[in-house]
Structure 1
Amino acid sequence: MKSRAAAYVRMSSDRQELSIGTQLAAIHAYASAHELDVIRTYEDAAKSGLEIAHRNGMKSLLRDVMDVPRPFDVVLVYDVSRWGRFKDIDAAAYYEYTCRLHGAKVIYVQEVFGTDEEPMTALLKTLKRAMAAEYSRDLSVKSRAGQDRAVHLGYQMGQLPCLGLTRIAIDRFGNRRPLARGQSKAMQSERIAWVPGPPEEVELVRRIFRLYADANGTIKGVAKQLRDEGLTVPGGHPFTTARVDNLLRCESFAGHFVWGSERYAVGPLKHRRPPTRADNAIEPVIPADLWQRTQDRLWVRRRLRRDKEQMIQVLRERLAEHPGLNCLDLEAMGLRSRRAYTNAFGSVSRALELAGRDPHLVRAQHERQKVVGRRVGDRINRDIARLLRAHGIDCSHHPRSRVLVINGAVRMRLQVLWPRNNRGRQRWYVLKARRPIADFVLLAQMTDEEHAMRFVLIDRAEYRSTTPWLDEQLPPYLTPISTCDGLVQAVRSRVAGLHKADEPS
């Protein structure tokens, strides 16, 4: 009766010529010559032999060999290197011993040593394992040297950003051929270079950088604004916080290549090489001054790895200056994000409570602000209604909200913006917790003396896309209104434009 055997085969990118088929042919030939019946095959195709983490075939084999009853008696492998090129050669011996401990012998069908467990066989196996590990280390050094050289020549091997850059294939004669996203090069000798993408993609990338750096936006706010405008990356995927964050940190937009970052390196930290940098390797997409402003902002807002006590201490220091500190003030002062405090303490309110904030003081302050805000908002709403009626514009109050109904159909909602001290300067926060139930939103930028400094009239689309923080110097797409006549003219122009858009063509 033939003994039951299992075949284990592995192919990695460093030995493509040693295919799965070649290994199986040698294993089946050995099984026929030694009266073995191969009943199972475990395969790890295109998997590195440096570690077992991603080798599902070997992990499945080790699980099955410990079953009771054991499904096979012998494990057939092409050679020692197919079992693994573990940098720690004891790992290869450990996995082989695990099989033998549970009654399944591991046989390397192409090795010269025998199958008996003799001292000389054990010595030869150890030498073979050391040679396999050394081959892997030597190949890694040579591959890294070639990659470093390619990066300094302006050829990138990393993943293309989702926007703003495209690839071209360059052959050994210097001929260039554009590549579509996801398209592979035609020949092994070709090199891949990155060049600026289509003009509309380049302009969108520059706008994302400007929204973050110049408009004092947040990564989350920029992503939301792009989604509200219906913009997507190539392929139709929406802009997420992670995508915007990756774009803002991608050094390729500044013309620099970085290869071999530590987070992608294998092995202990002390053995990792520093990443390879090639500055000014390609044509930049983002101007140098805009890139630097963006990186400066990211550096200020970077997430430091502080423990909870350090986070609470920062809040204590801020509460000493501002006893009524709230969630919105965290962003205004450049502190850790609300999500960071929520993850660490369950909520921002709980973190502020642990830091010593008086909840009764905050509640009382909040109630005072609500009373003042309601009173001031109602007063401004009445003044605007009287102003519009005085200029012949039909205007009435909506019964259940701070909305003015103009000409019986067009709705305009007033939103009062109070000034805040944001990073040493006065700024106004546009609260966009819900969509406006109106055709237009009139933003009133207030002073500390409860008077409107100026107004900004925007439609629904502009309201969704505008930056959450407004400075004294408004973005170019927003028009300030500082006089009564200017407000009346802006309302008339907006209402006329809305009626014109509703007329059938």
Structure 2
Amino acid sequence: MSTDNQKYSLYNQKLFIRKYAAENGMVIVKTYQDEGKSGLTVSGRQGLQNLIEDVTQHKLNVEAILVYDVSRFGRFQDPDESGFYDFLLKKSGIPVIYCAEPVSKDNPEMSSLYLVIQRHAAAAYSKNLSEKVFAGQKNLIKRGYRQGGVAGFGLRRSLVDENNNSKGILSSGQRKSLQSDRVILTKGSESEVSIINYIYSEFVNNKKNENDIAVELNKSPQYNKYDFKWTKGRVHQILTNEKYIGNNVFNKTSFKLKKKHVKNPESSWVRKDNAFESLVSKEIFYKAREIILNRSNKFSDSELLDNLKLLLAQKGLLSGIIIDEDKICPSSCVYRNRFGGLLNAYKLVGYTPKRDYQYLKINNYLRSIYYNESQKIINAISLHGGWCEDSGFDNIIKVNDEFYLSITISKCKTLSSGNRRWRIRFSNQNICDINLIIRMNSDNYSALDFYIFPSIDCLTSDTLLKDINSANLELYRFNSLELFYSIISRKSIKDNLWNYQNMTLY
């Protein structure tokens, strides 16, 4: 349950399921619930995860699983995900019964089709609800209310009632308690506001760049008294955020339906100008914006390339540092943004770096396939009776609630001699228990084999593999992961006891 909707309250679901069980001669032996959790993903739904674990590991002696309806099992945006978890439970010999769904056992084909339709309907409901919520957020933004997020340096979140009467300042982490209350932004301390104005004055009037301003702020005892260091990026953010002139801007990025964060085009932003009291004048803000825009927009493509050709003739080579230090050329990031990367800009002026940059394309490809390769391993673990959950660490998953598994793709580097090398870095060995290495082929587009290192055996943080390795390294090499999956698969204590009793000792 993710809301207090009366129909789907936990109490009403329990009553309905109990009634169904009584009418069908069933006894409920255990209940799993996820209160206040979204059904869009299995992540965070400890109840569902525990249910799948207990059933697939045969920790429960039951004949069926009762769920109120398909939507309570999950509103997964990919209906196949819901079917996958359903299949895992059925594979263990325990069917899932949706008590409020008119599913007939006499016609399994039609029942399966009906469930597919209901799974799609459950997913569509969440999508429609997301759109309605977003429409409500847009309305509140246009009325001048803040929608989530920290206030930012120099600003505070102020709570107001439905009549816009102030109810005080919200401290960090505090949330409104009444649905009718709203949040607006107000000025912070005088010292913070003075720093904001100092940044704009130095940038616009004294022509200093963001990095120089950050250095000065860090040197000044008056300004360097916070629990952070001033950086070029922090200063740039202050110079470009419209909230400092009182504008309320929303939907710059989005994270709809628990999918990945995306940056939205400016045409998709939702805004309300003059929503809050400004910290700096609009005049100086737009002068700062003009300076920033002119750094990249004052040159046409041909002018940018002409300047780059001139720089190449003077220096004999090009690099990001050389471009940034030149007084005529704009920064290297301008060339990256305008031409889709420095290498593309180099190509347009006829410059080929001595260094082979093909590795950049390979690295980008390997990063792009990492998620799919990891997901294959996670799905295979599930099919072998295991389960995985997010560990909270990058590239590490928790398996069977017992150990942490690190998954790494090792790129193949072919030397001029034709010999191949693979470098493995065990950067997470203090966190994880097992390191699974996918060693790539010469083309780096397919897997060659696999290495599985327990962290206790990782004596160094950096290992170099060759085509032919020492015997102690070959002990960890496998042509497939079938043995790995069989090792982590679960067996009942009863089966293990039978095997123990029938062992022959030599």
Q: TM-score, normalised by structure 1?
A: 0.52
Q: Any idea what the Cα deviations from partners look like across 1:228-256, whole Å, max 9, x if unmatched?
A: 33577997344345543433332211222
C-alpha displacement at 1:14, in angstroms? 7.3
Equivalent of 1:106 in 96, 113, 118: 96
Partners in 2 of 1:88 and 1:318 — Cα distance?
52
- Corresponding residue of 2:125: 135
Match runs of 1:225-374 below 5 Å = 225-229=216-220, 236-266=227-257, 274-299=268-293, 316-321=309-314, 327=321, 330-333=324-327, 334-336=330-332, 355=353
Asked if the contact 1:254–1:284 (Cα under 8 Å) also holds between the matched residues in 2, the reply is yes
Q: Any idea what the Cα deviations from partners look like across 1:145-204, whole Å, max 9, x if unmatched?
A: 221121111112131332122222222234222223233224211121222223222221
- Corresponding residue of 2:160: 170
C-alpha displacement at 1:317, in angstroms? 4.5
Say which SS state the counterpart of residue 175 (structure 2) adopts.
coil
Unaligned runs of 5+ in 1: 1-10, 304-310, 346-352, 358-505
Asked if the contact 2:159–2:170 (Cα under 8 Å) also holds between the matched residues in 1, the reply is no
Matched-pair identity in %: 27
- Corresponding residue of 1:361: none
Q: Any idea what the Cα deviations from partners look like across 1:336-358, whole Å, max 9, x if unmatched?
A: 269x99x989xxxxxxx95589x
Equivalent of 2:134 in 130, 144, 147: 144
The alignment's C-alpha RMSD in Å is 4.9
Q: Which one-letter code corresponds to 1:226 in the other structure?
A: L
Are 1:208 and 2:199 counterparts?
Answer: yes
Rate the CA distance shift 1:103–1:278 in 2: closer, same or farther, 3 A. Answer: same
Q: Any idea what the Cα deviations from partners look like across 1:409-463, whole Å, max 9, x if unmatched?
A: xxxxxxxxxxxxxxxxxxxxxxxxxxxxxxxxxxxxxxxxxxxxxxxxxxxxxxx
Unaligned runs of 5+ in 2: 298-303, 344-350, 356-506
Say which SS state the counterpart of residue 167 (structure 1) adopts.
strand
Partners in 2 of 1:49 and 1:98 — Cα distance?
18
- Corresponding residue of 1:374: none
C-alpha displacement at 1:136, in angstroms? 2.2
Asked if the contact 2:154–2:192 (Cα under 8 Å) also holds between the matched residues in 1, the reply is yes
Q: Which one-letter code corresponds to 1:279 in the other structure?
A: D
Rate the CA distance shift 1:98–1:301 in 2: closer, same or farther, 3 A. Answer: farther
Partners in 2 of 1:198 and 1:23 — Cα distance?
50
Asked if the contact 1:47–1:55 (Cα under 8 Å) also holds between the matched residues in 2, the reply is yes
Equivalent of 1:194 in 185, 193, 207: 185
Asked if the contact 1:169–1:192 (Cα under 8 Å) also holds between the matched residues in 2, the reply is yes
Say which SS state the counterpart of residue 12 (structure 1) adopts.
coil
Partners in 1 of 2:87 and 2:211 — Cα distance?
52
Q: TM-score, normalised by structure 2?
A: 0.52
Q: Any idea what the Cα deviations from partners look like across 1:17-58, whole Å, max 9, x if unmatched?
A: 8556765676678778623533x84x6554433345665665
C-alpha displacement at 1:220, in angstroms? 4.1
C-alpha displacement at 1:69, in angstroms? 9.1
Match runs of 1:367-382 below 5 Å = none
Asked if the contact 1:258–1:275 (Cα under 8 Å) also holds between the matched residues in 2, the reply is yes
Q: Which one-letter code corresponds to 2:115 in the other structure?
A: K
Name the larger-Rg structure.
1
Partners in 2 of 1:314 and 1:17 — Cα distance?
67
- Corresponding residue of 1:222: 213
Say which SS state the counterpart of residue 96 (structure 2) adopts.
strand
C-alpha displacement at 1:133, in angstroms? 3.1
